[in-house]
Structure 1
Amino acid sequence: MPPPPISPDGPGQVPYGYPGGYGYPSQPSYGGGAHGPQSQGAGAYYGWPGMTPVPSNGLGTAGLVIGIISAVVFCLWPIAILLGIMAVVFGMIGRGKAHRGEATNPGQALAGIICGAAGIVLGLVMIAFLIAT
Structure 2
Amino acid sequence: MPPPPIAPGGPGQVPYGYPGTAPAYGYPGPSHAPYGGGPYPGGTGYAWPGPQPAPSNGMGTASLVLGIIAAAGFLLWPVALVLGVLAVIFGAVGRSKARRGEATNPGVALAGLICGAAGIVLVAALFAFAIAMNT
Shorter-chain TM-score tier: 0.5 to 0.7
Work out whether 1:74 is the aligned partner of 2:79: no
1:64 match: 64
1:49 match: 49
When the two chains are superposed, the root-mean-square deviation of aligned CA atoms in Å is 2.4
Query: TM-score normalised to the size of structure 2?
Result: 0.65
Q: Deviations over 1:57-102 (max 9, x none)?
A: 1111100000000000011122211111110000000100000001
1:126 match: 126
In structure 1, stretches of 5+ residues that fail to align are 1-18, 22-27, 37-43
1:97 match: 97
Larger Rg: 2
Work out whether 1:20 is the aligned partner of 2:25: yes
Stretch of structure 1 that moved more, 86-95 or 49-58: 49-58
Query: TM-score normalised to the size of structure 1?
Result: 0.66
In structure 2, stretches of 5+ residues that fail to align are 1-23, 27-39
Displacement after TM superposition at 1:50 (Å): 4.9
Partner AA of 2:73 in structure 1: V
CA distance in 2, matches of 1:115, 1:71: 6
- TM superposition outliers: structure 1 runs of 4+ over 3 Å: none
1:113 match: 113
CA distance in 1, matches of 2:93, 2:49: 30
Partner AA of 1:20 in structure 2: Y
Partner AA of 2:85 in structure 1: I
CA distance in 2, matches of 1:82, 1:124: 13
